[in-house]
Amino acid sequence: MPDKVRIGLIGAGNFTTNRLLPGFQKLPNVEVTVVANRRRESSERVAAQFEIPEVADDFRAVIDNKNVDAVVIGTPPYLHEEAALAALDAGKHVICQTRISTSAVEARNMAEKADQVKPRGIHAMLIPPAPFYRGSRFVKHLIDSGYLGNLHHVLGFNMSAAFADPKAPLSGGRNDLELYGPFNAMQLGLSYDVMSRWTGHATSVVSQRAQFVAERPVTAGGPIATNYYPDEVTVIAETSGGAIAMNLVNYSVLFGDTHIELYGDQGTVVYRSRGDNIMAAQVGAEGLQPMPIPAEYDQPWAIEDEFVRMIRGEIDQPSFTFWDGVKNMEYLEAAYHSAIDGRRVDLPTG
C-alpha cells in the first residue's frame, strides 16, 4: 500500500477544478503533482491556483512522470481511449470522466484493457454522475424494498434554458464533433446512468431528436457556426427490470425542472436534483410528501476517496466501472441511430 498517492491531471476543466481537485487535496497522503491541459497557459493557471508543482505539455508527459501513480482523465471524450490505454499500459491507475469515449468500440477497448491490468493491481474507474448521486442509494432501496410495488414507468427530465435564446452562443467546445463525437448529445448519457441504476439497462430504444436553431454564434457576437447537436432528445427504452424509461433532455426551455419521476403500482417517488429533494407517497395517501434521505442511505460525494482507497487496496471493485461506460455508449449510439434512421434499436448493439 503506497504511503502517498501522487496524482497527475490530464485535462482540468470546470468539473475537475470545482470538484475533483479540491476533493483530492483534502485527503491525507494524497498529492496532485502535475497538470496538462490542451493549452500551457491554462495548465499554468490551474497549477498556480491549486499549488501544483509541475506543468506538462501533453498527456504522455503526465503518464511518463515518475512522480505520478494515478491519472485523472478530464479531457473531452476524444482523448479518453488513447490516454487511458497508455496510462494503464504504463502501470498507472486511471479515473476517467463520465463521458467515457466517443463510441462504444472505444469504450469496450478501455474496459477490456482495465480487465487485463487488474491482476497486476492496476485499477480503473469512471466518475459517476454528480446529479442525483446523494439520494441514488435511497431510491434504489425504495425500489428493492417494494415501496413502489412493481416499477412500471420512470421519467427523466433534464431541462435547461442554456439555448432557449436563439442567439445564445455555442460554448465549451460541445459543438465540436472531433472532441465529443456524434453520440454525446448534451447530458443524455448522464441521465441514463442515473436511471439505469434503478431500472436495469435498456434492452431496446425508440428515440427522436429536434434542432430548433440550426446555426448559432460560436462566441457572443462572434462568427456563426452550424449547430451539430440537437437541442432536444427524447428516448423511450424498455429495460431489463421491466419498467419503461423515458429520458428527455431539452436545453431550450424556460423554467425547466430537472428531476426524475418513478411510478409503481403501489407508490410514486419524485426526485429533484436541486437540493436532493425527494417526494413520495403510496396508495391511499392524499398526495406526495417530503421524504428525507435516511442517514444509512445518505451518500455524500466521496469519489476521490473511493479512488484512492481502491489504489491502496482497501476496495476491490469501484462503484462505477468502465463496463458501465460501455453500456452508456451502447445506449447513446442506439438512441442516435433510432432517431436518425426512424427505427427501434435493440440492445446490446455489439
Q: Please write down the HEC assignment for all residues of 154-198.
A: EEEEEECCCCCCCCCCCCCCCCCHHHHCCCCCCCHHHHHHHHHHH
User: 305-333: string of b/e by CB count within 10 Å (b at 16+)?
Assistant: bbbbebbeeebeebbbbbbbbbbbbbbbb
Tens digit of pLDDT for each residue in 51-64? 999 999 999 999 99
**pLDDT surpassing 70 at residue 185:** yes
Q: Give the model's confidence band at 186: pLDDT under 50 very low, under 70 low, under 90 confident, else very high.
A: confident
Q: What is the reported pLDDT for 147?
A: 98
Taking the C-alpha atoms of residue 72 and residue 79, their distance in angstroms, rounded to an integer, is 12
Tell which residue, 339, 288, 279, 320, has the closest CA to residue 94: 320
Among the listed residues 175, 122, 159, 182, the one whose alpha carbon sits nearest the alpha carbon of residue 310:
122
Using the predicted structure, report yes or no on whether residue 1 has a pLDDT greater than 60.
Answer: no
Q: Is the pLDDT of residue 175 over 80?
A: no
The answer to whether 288 and 270 are in contact (CB under 8 A) is yes
C-alpha cell at 59: 498527456
Give the pLDDT of residue 221. Answer: 84
Q: What is the pLDDT of residues 211-233, one digit of tens each?
A: 999 999 988 888 998 888 999 99
Range among 2-11, 170-179, 199-208 with highest mean pLDDT value? 199-208
The pTM score is 0.95
Nine cell digits for residue 79: 482523448
* 127: Cβ contacts below 8 Å, ≥ 6 apart: 15, 20, 95, 96, 97, 98, 303, 320
Confidence of residue 329 (pLDDT cuts 50, 70, 90): very high
- Summarize the confidence of residues 325-348 as an average pLDDT: 97
Write down the mean pLDDT value for the chain.
95
* Domains of the chain, first to last: 5-129+302-321 (3.40.50.720), 133-299 (3.30.360.10)
Decide if pLDDT at 151 tops 70. yes
CA pair distance 85, 66, nearest whole angstrom: 18
The runs of H, that is alpha helices, within 90-175 are 104-117, 133-144
Residue 228 CB neighbours (<10 A): 15
How much is the average pLDDT of 100-127?
Answer: 97
Residue 350 scores a pLDDT above 70: no
Give residue 172's pLDDT band: very low, low, confident or very high (50, 70, 90): low
The answer to whether residue 173 scores a pLDDT higher than 80 is no
